[in-house]
Structure 1
């Protein structure tokens, strides 16, 4: 099964995504929308337009409408049957999805929106039909027809909105190419379907093409656009030995990639699963909305019953029917049921497009309350890779010293050796030829350069050879040592000719992330197993508030507990196996996506990129999502509290009544307002939030 098929299996695309839109009060699915099984936005659209066409003559021939607008509709043989005949067609055709949904809610014992609508249109239809045959006095054909049309329009718009929000999953699947160019053993290239790729295959990725599967570059180098996965807009350079992600785009050069993950095992498929799980999970606000919607059903039925009783006792049976139907219509918890699911869908898809993968909606909801962020140092605030940060030559020629050290280290695979060689190449230093390379375990390396024996090593080498650092560089070396840098000395012909400082590279984005958190009033702490002076040096450079240094891996979670005991709501950010307990203990666990599977499994939120600024984006999205949820809840709940008494006719004595059709319009308008308010979440800028938040 390829990643595209995985996407289709895990996340139904739009025609089926709407297959569940009906029980706003039942507490299932998206506010209970799972009662529209088999229905799609197209179905509601088609029924809306046809029902609207049939409703026009019903309205034109309605006595009340003619009286309001002062005209007389032309009469002909059978014109008196226009309302009952077309009204019946509209009820059976346009109203059928609601009647079916009502029966499903009854069978599942989860009464909600569909049951309210079903009851309202059925009562209105039966009353009108009996009136047309002379058995009753209330005839509301035009109100019934308009009500069904408005309901169809509201559901069509709602399902389109949710379908667009969920479309992010289908969009992720569409990122993968249909075919891949597989390189055969004889070097020839053969085009195959992406589903035919297997681990170990080598594929050719041409300039401008997408990588078909996760793998490792075995030939070539290129700038890759990984924005669809990580949210990072700038291309990243990848070369031989680097891993690439399926769906990333090679911008300028061709690559040969050995596939190491296909189908459900690719990073893209993992992202799709996380997005789907997050959209299906419920936050505390969603649970509250579900309960409120379920409660509203019983409130509406009770209010309708009281309305019938009161108006009947007052001797107005017509008003009893009209007012009770209006109560049922206007009390539909449509907006209440849509208030949270739509925000959830939009925020989840938006976060996924920005490299933020939400595994647990509760974690995202809690992020807005976080007032302390604990960063693991290595691999999170720093790159976990050493780089040359200082060169001090006894004779003052730093470039020559760096070139000499690079010559000796050129054959070593040690990370510090690679950092020196890389620094020499980056600075354009002249690197002489070396021979007779030898490794001195625990002390350093040595080689012959221009006929001289040259060694590069640390303090153990100096102790063994009895060498002292020359005065010309001793002060510089002392300063490096005080800030915790790793120091390698270069020895030529038995004398120290200089020293090189190497330090774990601090990510350039780390300072921006910490500054942005400080502007929000968040305390920033750092935890590491490194020596205190190393940790303090990094903390000073980044402006970190608290430091936990020399911490054993198994004790990292105790730092989280310490912050929590002091009253903080803590987010832990880490990427390693030894971060897993701390990620699990924290109020919000955030795993760097490049980290281990164990760390990712322990976290509620996963960052697809290594950029710590994404933590600020998470906080921004959490606050914005919660704000939209509460706004929608207040609007939906407040609307019902105000509208139900008006629909029941409590102000009829003052001449203020709420017609049935107006009630339907107001109910649909409430839903539209909630949907539009949720759509505003799309305008939140997450990419610049770490830099511009204040």
Structure 2
């Protein structure tokens, strides 16, 4: 997977997972407040230790002995094996849920943690009372299996997606650490932090700009694509502004610093990312809401069961055992696995299809998406130039391309490579060049076959006063109307040919747009590029709505506006896309983009294929459907089990014992697991 921008090379440690924290930030928006300070490893370790403690509990359980017709080994103190192990299990395995329940109750939002805590506390409290002399059968096995299944569920849930927010860290890594300050006739290297407004600095070819400033001397081009979305290298001459983080091209520049530190454009984008992270609303998982309802149902029904049976004249022990059965049965094992099992399957399926899931809620939000906003450069297009047309006059197109490629082969200009590739693709010969010379900000010149040729900006031809024929003028007008970069091939007297270069559209982009529309989703293109470029790309792809010349800080605003019309996904790859990725209901990063975009996204498309956007949204819809089905299977049995456990059918001699309740619970758990596995088949056929 390409996580790198060509100008952005540093390590990207994915190994250290960071998890949600209540204070805000990107991780917090995953709705994982209940997992504050938790790690998948912690749940895994507790699960395996609890599982080991469960085995002797099951062996010594009276229920298990009755069902399987055996008698457990008897020895002095054997009656206390289950109470002791049950107590260890309650505090060791259950502590995480008890603490979570306290947090939920303090926030007055009882959910999964509170429901689990209620179930295990009722089972443990009643079992301990029975061990100490209360008539009845203890629930230690129920306590143990409930803790095991819930630990497994939370481990799967956290391990399936380890959401980490390193966006800000990646942004700060982009900046160079030293700057070359010019003092009179000498140059000194100083830390970027020591730069002050008004300092004169030198930016050498290929270096990153350390601070915002204005060019004082020199000519070059700058790659600002990953900051502004502008696909073309931007020419820089005295008086032009340069942006911190941009990459200098072929010429050395002297720049007067205008903004440093917090005031730079890059720092402002960083602030936008922080704001977007902090303002992101927490999305409460569906299972948590269901658990919240079940908590109230269990509490109410358990209390009612106890009071009604007492009022009907039954003894305290009978009323209490039925009440506890109701509370324990209300906490379904399957509910703890309903969402995690679907998530694990969906995450694995997504990975097989080149979609990395960084936020499990992506599946829940993805099914509602009505608008997909797409960045242009690097997303719908490859961010690499290709020769679209050669306008030649008084020479053939092949000869013009051959001559231009011969000169450009020695140039470092970004457009040069595209011209060389075009000539190589057609198998054209490359004449030998003598007396080659690069003219910064203009182009290159050299002698081929005894004649002097120049390749460079059309403006250079104007400055030299060279003749331009009418067909070439028409070609120039057409290329400029399309927003393309134009390179002129000149001899000593006239312009021989014009080469129009455009950012190459990704092969699958058109099909992706067609399929999004078929799903009832409206594609919207948002780009920092020029109106003419945006219009040309939008027409070719069949996109009706587009916004051009959108500044980095405005992308998030455009996404906000779209969100008012309906749930919106944003697909992007640049640093300038990070605030928009966070602002969107669903952030999708193109894998070949910069690390910061990847860190700000919910989903990452490894192959940089726009069709993967369609696959991701199809998978999201299928996954959400499975989640709803699983919640039905996980809680549906409660509709039958709870009234029976409460003794509604007691007059007819039917009371749901914990044993039968456990059987129903097991069946619903199996149904949930099988249904989650079926997702692989359902979603793959749709993909």
Measured against the shorter chain, the TM-score band is 0.5 to 0.7
> Which deviates the most, 524-533 or 575-584?
575-584
Kept in 2, the 8 Å contact 1:124–1:325? The answer is no
Aligned mate of 1:652, from 650, 653, 675: 650
Please give the alpha-carbon distance, in whole angstroms, between the structure 2 residues aligned to 1:322 and 1:82: 27
> Which deviates the most, 448-457 or 589-598?
589-598
Matched, 1:539 2:545: no
Please give the alpha-carbon distance, in whole angstroms, between the structure 1 residues aligned to 2:593 and 2:12: 25
Query: Residue by residue, what CA displacement relative to the aligned partner does 1:514-545 show, whole Å, maximum 9, x if unpaired?
Result: 22211211111223344433222211211112
**What is the aligned partner in structure 1 of residue 499 from structure 2?**
500
Matched, 1:426 2:425: yes
In the alignment, structure 1 segments of 5+ residues that lack a partner are 12-25, 67-72, 74-78, 131-135, 173-277
Please give the alpha-carbon distance, in whole angstroms, between the structure 1 residues aligned to 2:76 and 2:313: 27
Matched, 1:89 2:84: no
How much does 1:451 deviate? Answer: 0.5
CA 128–485 in structure 1, closer or farther in 2 if over 3 Å, else same: closer
CA 95–59 in structure 1, closer or farther in 2 if over 3 Å, else same: farther
Please give the alpha-carbon distance, in whole angstroms, between the structure 2 residues aligned to 1:561 and 1:164: 33
How much does 1:342 deviate? Answer: 4.7
Aligned mate of 1:614, from 607, 612, 615: 612
Matched, 1:7 2:15: yes
CA 4–325 in structure 1, closer or farther in 2 if over 3 Å, else same: farther
Kept in 1, the 8 Å contact 2:387–2:501? The answer is yes
Kept in 1, the 8 Å contact 2:355–2:616? The answer is yes
The within-5 A match list for 1:106-505 is 109=102, 111-120=114-123, 122-123=125-126, 126-127=129-130, 130=133, 139-140=136-137, 144=138, 148-149=140-141, 152-153=144-145, 155-156=147-148, 159-160=151-152, 163=155, 284-286=283-285, 289-290=287-288, 292-294=290-292, 296-297=294-295, 299-317=297-315, 319-344=318-343, 347=346, 356=355, 365-394=364-393, 397-470=396-469, 479-492=478-491, 494-505=493-504
How much does 1:315 deviate? Answer: 4.2
How much does 1:383 deviate? Answer: 1.9
Please give the alpha-carbon distance, in whole angstroms, between the structure 2 residues aligned to 1:589 and 1:169: 15
Kept in 1, the 8 Å contact 2:408–2:416? The answer is yes
Kept in 1, the 8 Å contact 2:118–2:327? The answer is no
Please give the alpha-carbon distance, in whole angstroms, between the structure 2 residues aligned to 1:34 and 1:379: 34
Query: Residue by residue, what CA displacement relative to the aligned partner does 1:81-103 show, whole Å, maximum 9, x if unpaired?
Result: 97998665344436751376668
**What is the aligned partner in structure 1 of residue 90 from structure 2?**
98
TM-score normalised by L of structure 1:
0.65
How much does 1:574 deviate? Answer: 2.8
Please give the alpha-carbon distance, in whole angstroms, between the structure 2 residues aligned to 1:381 and 1:300: 52
Kept in 2, the 8 Å contact 1:526–1:544? The answer is yes
How much does 1:114 deviate? Answer: 4.3
**What is the aligned partner in structure 1 of residue 523 from structure 2?**
524
Please give the alpha-carbon distance, in whole angstroms, between the structure 2 residues aligned to 1:659 and 1:546: 62
The within-5 A match list for 1:607-646 is 607-646=605-644
Query: Residue by residue, what CA displacement relative to the aligned partner does 1:611-647 show, whole Å, maximum 9, x if unpaired?
Result: 3333334423433343333333344444334321110
CA 557–36 in structure 1, closer or farther in 2 if over 3 Å, else same: closer
Aligned residues: 539
Query: Residue by residue, what CA displacement relative to the aligned partner does 1:385-408 show, whole Å, maximum 9, x if unpaired?
Result: 211122344467433332211112
Please give the alpha-carbon distance, in whole angstroms, between the structure 2 residues aligned to 1:558 and 1:8: 32
Query: Residue by residue, what CA displacement relative to the aligned partner does 1:247-281 show, whole Å, maximum 9, x if unpaired?
Result: xxxxxxxxxxxxxxxxxxxxxxxxxxxxxxx9xx9
Please give the alpha-carbon distance, in whole angstroms, between the structure 1 residues aligned to 2:83 and 2:291: 25
Query: Residue by residue, what CA displacement relative to the aligned partner does 1:141-173 show, whole Å, maximum 9, x if unpaired?
Result: xxx4xx544654565456556545655689x9x
CA 679–47 in structure 1, closer or farther in 2 if over 3 Å, else same: farther
Please give the alpha-carbon distance, in whole angstroms, between the structure 2 residues aligned to 1:57 and 1:527: 64
Please give the alpha-carbon distance, in whole angstroms, between the structure 1 residues aligned to 2:331 and 2:592: 46
Query: Residue by residue, what CA displacement relative to the aligned partner does 1:531-566 show, whole Å, maximum 9, x if unpaired?
Result: 43322221121111212234455544454355445x
CA 36–96 in structure 1, closer or farther in 2 if over 3 Å, else same: farther
Kept in 2, the 8 Å contact 1:7–1:169? The answer is no
How much does 1:431 deviate? Answer: 0.2
In the alignment, structure 2 segments of 5+ residues that lack a partner are 1-9, 20-31, 106-113, 165-276
> Which deviates the most, 631-640 or 401-410?
631-640
Please give the alpha-carbon distance, in whole angstroms, between the structure 1 residues aligned to 2:419 and 2:41: 65
Aligned mate of 1:575, from 567, 573, 576: 573
**What is the aligned partner in structure 2 of residue 206 from structure 1?**
none
Please give the alpha-carbon distance, in whole angstroms, between the structure 2 residues aligned to 1:315 and 1:113: 31
Please give the alpha-carbon distance, in whole angstroms, between the structure 2 residues aligned to 1:56 and 1:106: 27
Kept in 2, the 8 Å contact 1:35–1:101? The answer is no
Q: For 1:390, what is the secondary structure of its paired residue?
A: strand
| Root mean square deviation of aligned Cα | 4.6
> Which deviates the most, 401-410 or 590-599?
590-599
Query: Residue by residue, what CA displacement relative to the aligned partner does 1:422-447 show, whole Å, maximum 9, x if unpaired?
Result: 22223221001011223445543321
TM-score normalised by L of structure 2:
0.65
How much does 1:419 deviate? Answer: 1.4
**What is the aligned partner in structure 2 of residue 265 from structure 1?**
none
